[in-house]
Structure 1
Amino acid sequence: MTAHLMAATESDRFEQPDALSITDPRTGESVGSVRIATAHEVADAVVVAAASFGEWAARTPAERGAALHAVADALAAREGELADLNHRETGKSIADALGGVRAAIGTARQYAELGPLHAGRALRGPSTAVDFTVAEPRGVVAVITPWNDPVAVAVGLIAAAAVTGNTVVHKPSERCPHLGELLGSVLADALPPGVVVTISGDGRTGAALTSSVGVAMIAHVGSSATGARIARAAVLTGAHVIRENGGNDAILVDADVDPVWAAAQTALGAFANAGQICTSVERVFVHADVAERFLEALVAEAERWTADPASGPLVDRELRSIVHEHVVDAVEDGARLLTGGTVPEGPGAFYPATVLADCRPGMRVMREETFGPVAPVMIVGSFDEAVRLAAADPYGLAATVLTGSMSHAHRAIAELPVGTVKVNAVFGGAPGGSAEPRGESGSGFGYGPGLLDEMTLTKVVHLEAAP
């Protein structure tokens, strides 16, 4: 049995597993089909990873870091293939897909360097003893990753798990299984056998993996509904769970900013990657003093994004139907459709950049994560109102504040119950940051140095000399 698990076991020969059939969301053409792993194959994958854990954990952090540099080299050698499969399965542009692979390469190298520096702490005890902490790997980590940035997210979680001495069973998204299998093959070839095992499948596969008593930790990036099911399953197995799940990120446009610049920032946040980014702008609160000029500029931005040949489709028609339902529901409930909002003819899963005005908090497009190129706008009379409305949401991933007021920026930072607050830039951040989502958006550090702490258990040592 190889680290990249494909063959069925004896007990599975009479099963007829389903297959994942993928079409290109740009053209509607078939990409191919991938077998869904059976429950027995999932169990075997955990056994393989568990069997490799002891030897891998015994390696020095420097040796594991060197192995991650080899992973980065292997990814770089295959970056074109990985980007092309991402493009074909998810519709992401070649440039964005290539950027995602290169981000994964950088993340692998980052953890290759951070892993050996992941230090314990000295504790203050009596002068006759030494007290300190040691970080130890947890065991088998189940990594379940999404389709919207499939290489960068997967490699980040896998690299953090591996460099701290854990072994991994990875289930990539069912929306890009060919990419997941190629990535699994690249990782398996670059690492010792059993350190990373890849299984293909759908929600049933993920449920079998996350309910396994052999899994010590689960790292999940995906929908809030799936994350909640994982958290419930982990209560029974005792697995440690970190989750970055859905978001309903707000952008607050203050009265003192340039409305044209604010519209460009909002468009970038709402329409980049067809709105399929975890921290995409999902709700827009704009001050009445700049609302008219802001809406005019936002409509122009939306039409520019729609006309741009580089703007890609949604991942499939199923998601497009959900996005369009949100728009239709909003219009039926009194929102004004300023541009977009129509399902285009032709192949694929394209959807135009859409702007809705006169939205209200109770509308579905404001309450739920739409995950498409839609900017629902609500006009507010004050910054206080914007903060209050933005905070009244069960999600807690991120928020953006566009303001020239330092006091308003500090108030938003203090009062918005989210893991990340961005001021005057819808995307961006320094290297090495770690954030914890709140509420229905998940829990735990999912990236940065904080992820190394999540991947390990802390042991306290008290050492005295014998009398």
Structure 2
Amino acid sequence: MTDLAVEHDLSSAESADAHAIRIDNPVDGHLVGRIAMATPEEVAAAVAKARSAFAGWAGTPAESRAAALRAAADALADRADDLAELNEAETGRPAAEAREGVLAGVSTLRQYAELGPLHRGRALLGQPSATDLMVPEPRGVVVTLTPWNDPVAVACGLVGAALVTGNTVVAKPSERCPHTGLLFGEVLRPHFPEGVVRHLAGDGTVGSWLAGHTDVDVIAHVGSTATGRSLAAAAARTGAKVLLENGGNDPLLVDADVDPVWAAEQAALGAFANSGQICVAVERVFVHREIAEPFVEALTAAADRTGVLPLVDTRHRDAVHAHVSEAVAAGARLRAGGVVPDGPGSRYPATVLTDCDPGMRVMREETFGPVAPVCVVDDFAEGLARARDDAYGLAATVLTRSMEHAQRAWRALPVGTVKVNAVFGGAPGGAAHPRRASGHGYGYGPELLDEFTATKVVHVEPAP
């Protein structure tokens, strides 16, 4: 497969191959470009090169691997504007926001460049005449399958941690942002030996070929629950380790003692930022009856101010609208948005639904769009019980002035991340385990280095 040339005109990137990815601009529908998908032979060749390069890269001193990652981070920073423009063209994310995502990825690569050489094993206290060690070693060939909603930042975490610990990587970015993904790969690749990191374009079929390859040691995936479960099934047949951050249906619990206008601003931020296309976006809202009316009024006003937003493509826009339409048909009240706009592109308005029943699909499944479905509860205990009743376990937010309620909530919610009085934020380096349908394994922070290494116990005694 020929990689995307950095300087080429995307609008002329026509592929004669019928098995090509076509990307249309979400805002106005114009053709961004076409990229041919990797073939089974190209997938096999990429994995074979990664396997061949593994021994040399694993044997490279940790500080040298870190230096390569630092150089890649600097190169990525130099191309931040180019990557942001591609991201905007492919997914509709505003270039300024997309650039922030690229720079977050740069910081992540630099973080892992510092942490990699510090990743250490343990000396054990055995017999005085013996030496006993626990030594972390790279696992081998890592396949990374990354999403479209923040493509560079997420990829930097998985790829950076895998490379700095001595693994080789075959990466497949989402088929919804292949130009961004391949340019990211072009920026990284010159800073590593041949075969150490490789990017391939393709859809789920290419991902399944990679996941089913018997010479792959780790599959790291950020994306939907359905895909994650398919990957886990494939790994059960090959013996690969699977690292998954999958869908979420994150609740927002609003207590009676908070300012309803402030709470509505938090809800709007959590539900509408990046068009609701964030892994830890607010997906369902449980508000105390005492402040429900002013809260909903403020949230509706925020949705009206937000207006129409670009979704990644029409297929996704149709799925979001189906959740809204089904809820309205089942008795939900549409307070803002909820109507597909005329014209080209894949835009959708910020939407508020009230009178939502927890059994509605918009409350049970991840909508992943700018939709805030609201359910009124009689007290904090009811809201907490409803927030807990879910198949997912990624994150949750609680807005309350009560320390008692905050403590009850963070201990009771079966999720990897709980945020109190802020829908987004947190100290750098945090790492959590998603639960249930949201996946398993650390996806961020220093602990991610542990996911990409295997521990060997060594016992050495002197010969007689």
Deviation string 1:283-329 (CA, Å, 9 cap, x unpaired) is 0000001101100110111111117xxxx400011111111111110
Shift of 1:362: 0.5
1:423-442 → structure 2 map (5 Å cutoff): 423-442=420-439
Q: Which amino acid aligns with 2:445?
A: G
Match of 2:13 in 1: none
Amino acid in structure 1 at the alignment position of 2:458: V
What residue number does 1:69 align with?
Answer: 70
Could you say if the C-alpha distance between residues 357 and 421 of structure 1 is closer, same or farther in structure 2, counting changes exceeding 3 Å?
A: same
Letter in 1 for 2:391: P
- Residue equivalent to 1:251: 252
The residue correspondences of 1:355-394 to structure 2 (distance < 5 A) are 355-394=352-391
Q: Which amino acid aligns with 1:323?
A: V
Query: How many Å apart are 1:17 and its aligned residue?
Result: 5.5
Q: Distance in 1 between the 2:343 and 2:127 partners?
A: 75
Aligned partner of 1:320 in structure 2 is: 317
What secondary structure, in the 3-state scheme, does the structure 1 residue paired with 2:347 have? coil
Contact 2:4 2:183 in 1 (8 A): no
Query: How far did residue 5 of structure 1 move?
Result: 9.9
Question: Hey, what's the Cα distance between the residues in 2 that align with 1:219 and 1:253?
Answer: 34
- For 2:126 and 2:174, the matched residues in 1 are separated by 48
* Residue-by-residue CA offset, 1:72-113 (whole Å, 9 max, x unaligned): 011011111111000000000011100010001000000000
Structure-1 separation of matches of 2:218 and 2:450? 12
CA distance in 1, matches of 2:227, 2:58: 30
What is aligned with 2:83?
82
Q: Secondary structure at the match of 1:351?
A: strand
Instruction: Check whether the contact 1:17–1:37 (CA below 8 A) recurs between aligned residues.
Output: no
Please, which moves more after superposition, 138-147 or 189-198?
Answer: 189-198
Under a length normalisation based on structure 2, what TM-score does the superposition of the two structures give? 0.96
Give the aligned partner of residue 149 of structure 1.
Answer: 150
Determine if the alignment matches structure 1 residue 414 to structure 2 residue 415. no
Look up the match of 1:162.
163
Aligned partner of 1:133 in structure 2 is 134
For 1:48 and 1:297, the matched residues in 2 are separated by 56
In structure 2, what is the equivalent of residue 35 of structure 1?
Answer: 36
Q: 1:172 to 1:219 in 2, by over 3 A?
A: same
Distance in 1 between residues matched to 2:193 and 2:207, nearest whole Å:
24
Q: Using the alignment, how far apart are the partners of 2:416 and 2:124 within structure 1? A: 30
> Are the aligned partners of 1:283 and 1:376 in contact in 2 as well (CA < 8 Å)?
yes
- How far apart are residue 122 of structure 1 and its match? 2.2
Hey, what does 2:293 align to over in structure 1? 292
After TM superposition, list the pairs within 5 Å mapping 1:99-110 onto structure 2.
99-110=100-111
Q: 1:182-331, aligned counterparts within 5 Å?
A: 182-306=183-307, 312-331=309-328
**1:99, 1:145 → 2: CA distance?**
18
| 1:56 corresponds to 2:57 | yes
1:352 aligns with 349
Secondary structure class of the residue paired with 2:374: strand
Change (3 A) 1:5 1:270: closer
Identity score, percent: 62
> For residues 463 and 428 of structure 2, what CA distance do their matches in structure 1 show?
46
2:17–2:36 CA contact under 8 A, matched in 1: no
Note if contact 2:4-2:182 (Cα within 8 Å) is conserved in structure 1. no
* 2:460 equivalent in structure 1: 463
Matched, 1:19 2:20: yes
Q: Which runs of 5+ in 2 are unaligned?
A: 6-15
Unpaired runs of at least 5, structure 1: 7-14
Other structure's SS at 2:455 match: strand
Contact 2:311 2:348 in 1 (8 A): yes
For the Cα contact (< 8 Å) 1:130–1:464, is it kept in 2? yes
Deviation at residue 195 of structure 1 after TM alignment: 0.9
Kept after mapping to 2: 8 A contact 1:35/1:200: yes
**2:9: which partner in 1?**
none
Looking at structure 2, the residues matched to 125 and 267 of structure 1 have their Cα atoms a distance apart, in angstroms, of 57
Output the amino acid matched with 2:433.
E
Return the alpha-carbon distance in structure 2 between the equivalents of residues 365 and 427 of structure 1: 22
CA contact (8 A) 1:74 1:190 kept: no
Letter in 1 for 2:437: E
Q: Is the 8 A contact 1:46 1:214 kept in 2?
A: yes
1:445 matched to 2:442? The reply is: yes
Q: After TM superposition, give the deviation of residue 271 of structure 1 in Å.
A: 0.2
Q: Is contact 1:5-1:197 (8 Å) kept? A: no
Q: Does the residue aligned with 1:215 lie in a helix, a strand or coil?
A: coil
Query: What is the DSSP-based 3-state SS (H/G/I as helix, E as strand, rest coil) of the residue aligned with 2:425?
Result: coil
Distance 1:157 1:303 in 2: 37
Partner of 1:179: 180
Per-residue Cα deviation, 1:383-437 (whole angstroms, up to 9, x for no partner)? 1111111111000000000011111111111111100000111001101111110
**TM-score after normalising by structure 1:** 0.95
Kept in 2, the 8 Å contact 1:338–1:357? The answer is: yes
Equivalent-residue separation in structure 2 for 1:237 and 1:291 (angstroms): 51
CA distance in 1, matches of 2:43, 2:224: 21
The superposition leaves residues 193-236 of structure 1 with CA deviations (integer Å, 9 ceiling, x where unpaired) of 11111110001100000000010000000110000000000000
> Which amino acid in structure 2 is aligned with residue 388 of structure 1?
A
Partner of 1:12: none
CA distance in 2, matches of 1:5, 1:33: 10
TM-superposed CA distance for 1:129, in Å, is 2.3
Asked if the contact 1:42–1:205 (Cα under 8 Å) also holds between the matched residues in 2, the reply is yes
CA RMSD, aligned part only? 1.4
Letter in 2 for 1:97: A
Task: Give the partner amino acid of 1:414.
Answer: R
Query: Contact between 1:314 and 1:372, CA under 8 Å: does it hold in 2?
Result: yes
